[in-house]
Every structure is written in C-alpha cells, then in structure tokens.
Structure 1
Amino acid sequence: MKIRISLWVSMILCLSLLAGPASAEDGERGASRQSQRGYQVGDAVSNFRLKNTNGNMVSLSDFASSKGVIVVFTSNHCPFAKAYEDRIIALNNKFAGQGFPVIAINPSDPGTHQDDTFEKMKERAAAKNYGYPYLVDDAQQVARAFGAARTPQAFVLQKNGAQFAVRYVGMIDDNPQDASGVTKFYVDEAVTNLAGGKPVVTTLTKPVGCAIKWKNQ
C-alpha cells in the first residue's frame, strides 16, 4: 500500500510539473520572479490578520515576542499538502519552543475544492490536533502579498527590530513524495541557522505542489 501511494503521488508530481513551472526558477531567475510577485528574501513583511479555525483572529503582530515564524501556505485538498502535513507538525513541535512557531495559511478557493471550506479546515485541524494556527485567507490578499503560488510553500521569517524579514522562500524539503527519502531539509536548516545566530545558506528553492487557484481568474 505504501508503494502504491508513493507511485500515485509521483504521478501527480509529474502532471503538476508538466502543467507549468512553479512560482520561481532556481537561482537568479527564481529571485527575479519572486521579487516581481511578492516578498523576496530580505524584505520586511507587512502585518496581516486572518481568522483561525478556533474562531479567533490571528495577526503576525501577535508573534512580536518570537524570534521569527515559519509561514506555510497549505490546503486541505492538495496531495502535496497532505504529504507534508506531519512534517509541518514536526517543524512546529521542534521549533516553536526555540521561538520559531508555525503559522499555516489556507488561500485555496473553496469554490474550486470543497475540502477547503472553513468547516473542513476546522475538522482537519481538530483531527490532527494542530499545535499552531490554521488561518483562512478568504480574500487571498495575504497569499498575493507573499507571492505564494503553490501549496505547500514555506516562508521563514526572522524578527528584525519591530518587523519580520524574509530569510527563506520555497520547499519545506527536497522530497514531496517520501519523508524518509529527504536529503535536504531546507526549512529545518534555515531555522536552525537563524536560531543559532547564523545566516541562512539556501535562501530560495522552487516550490512544488498544487497551484493556487485565484478567485478572479
């Protein structure tokens, strides 16, 4: 069964890549595209305020006492997001206590995928016992501001004075299909370096996942 699931996800990966490139190419071309579409590495992030699955409103400014945050744009319906769910939970379990908690944001249009309705988000957060906020980006304004294009897509932010600055953008790690086959732990390595007072080595990777469907398209 595990092999069958892995093959299924691999097929989806191939179809996703054939459908079009992710939001940024590697290296300089990636940095250029990202800068055109949203925040790039080094940019200060504007405050945002979104509804959590527990009904409360959550703002980036609520994390002013943190060293930083791990923002992950994700969704309920996407196979890639599902494959990364336990890894996102593990990131929060590892780094929240070090001052870098996870903030998960769902920008997916529920009109396209019913699994992404707010009610389904609440069900999923409760079933998996998320230890972090799972926010709904109804207007998709936060996703647009960040330049998010895929789910999942990660942004590692570091507290810089009174603001948060982007230090990493892209994949969570290098193996969407199989957590046991990961060789590059991009988000983990970025946060580990920042928590240790070191610069991030890999600052930009190409996100692989389900394309965000924009409501005005």
Structure 2
Amino acid sequence: MQKVFLFAVLFIGVNIIQAQLKVGDIAPDFKLTNTDYQKVALSDYNDQEGVIVVFTCNHCPYAKFYEERINLLHKTYAPQKFPVVAINPNDSVKYATDGFSHMVKKGYKFPYLLDNEGVYKAYGATKTPHVFLLNNTGKGFEIAYIGAIDDSPQEASQVQVKYLEDAISSVKAGKAAQPAITKAIGCSIKPFQ
C-alpha cells in the first residue's frame, strides 16, 4: 500500500514539473483584460525583441517591494524593445485588494492584466512576483530566463545581482542567460477557483 501511494505521489509530482515551462520552450500566447479594459495578447508584441512577463499582484508584500523596480524596468527596457507585461493571477474574492478596480488604481504605464483564465498555470508561475523573460526568435517567444528580478526582494538599495537585467543583456548579445533560472521569492499565487 505504501509503495502504491509513494508511486502515485512521484507520478503526480513529475507531471506537475513537466507541465511547467522550461528555458528554451516557446511561451504560450494569452489574451487577457488590461486595466484600460482592452484585451492584450502576447502576440501583440511580435514587433518587439522580447517581453518581460511578471506575474504579480497588489496585496503581497514582496510584490509591493518590487513595484518601483518593475516600473523602472519598463521605463528602461521598453525603449529597447523589451517591455513589461504584468499579470495578476490572484482571486479577488480571497484578496479584495487584488480586484480589478484596485489594479486600475495602480496606474502602471505598462499592461497589467487580470488572469482569470489560469495563464499562470501554463507558465508554471508559483509566486508573486515571478518573472519570465521572453526572447522573440521570429518563430515565437522563447523562454530565456525564469525566476527573480534580483537578489534583494525586500531592499532595492541592497541589490548586488540584477538577474533579470543581466539576462536581458545576454539575450541582446545573442547569448544564453547565466543563470537561466533563479528561485522566485514572493507570496504563493492565490488563483481563481
């Protein structure tokens, strides 16, 4: 009985791992509602060199710590054809401040999309914030980097390694990001049921 249970747990665990995107995979398209009430799709960015997809929310302290850094990333990299697209996967029934009206109040200069369709599952996002750097290969958006924005989730002034910015520099130079994966630090996603 114990062997059967252990096998079932391992089988389920392997399937969950396999369902997550890996570096080198083609990112699935999405079409979600932005805070300006318009639909935004990944395919809308086919004229860009890449996209910085950030799964984030309003209520999580870590997401709040990163708000200004995410704004700065967009301001810096959108002109270089690597804009930010933020996606909120959290259920606003559980966390009212993650509701659409609160998303609108953020006033971000980049799309902030409501994920009521489970896009976070297709990407394998588990935290807020959780970053996926996409590189436009001309045949689709390839995952170039997955993980954290930098090495200091709480204090921007203490950042020593800017993982995402280093990854963007590598991609722009035609190289693989090193590291290509880091551990995302943040609150667990509270998805729509």
TM-score (norm 1): 0.80
> Do residues 110 (structure 1) and 92 (structure 2) align?
yes
Superposition RMSD in Å: 1.5
Alignment gaps of 5+ in structure 2: 1-13
User: What is the 5 A alignment of 1:159-178?
Assistant: 159-178=136-155
Cα 1:178–1:208, aligned 2, differ >3 Å: closer, same or farther?
same
Alignment gaps of 5+ in structure 1: 1-31
Write out the 4+ residue segments of structure 1 that deviate beyond 3 Å after TM superposition.
32-35
Amino acid at match of 1:118: F
Contact 1:152 1:210 in 2 (8 A): yes
Q: 2:159 aligns with which of 182, 185, 189?
A: 182
Deviations 1:32-91 (A, max 9, x none): 898424111100012110000001100000000000100000000010000000000111
Deviation, 1:215, is: 3.3
The aligned residue for residue 99 of structure 1 is 81
SS of match in other structure, 1:95: helix
Cα 1:103–1:112, aligned 2, differ >3 Å: closer, same or farther?
same
Q: 1:122 aligns with which of 83, 104, 107?
A: 104
Amino acid at match of 1:105: I
Contact 1:34 1:40 in 2 (8 A): no
> Do residues 47 (structure 1) and 34 (structure 2) align?
no
Deviation, 1:195, is: 1.6
Q: Percent identity?
A: 43
Cα 1:132–1:174, aligned 2, differ >3 Å: closer, same or farther?
same
The aligned residue for residue 6 of structure 2 is none
Deviations 1:104-146 (A, max 9, x none): 000011111100110110011x2xxx2210000013x210000
Deviations 1:173-199 (A, max 9, x none): 010110010111000110112123232
TM-score (norm 2): 0.89
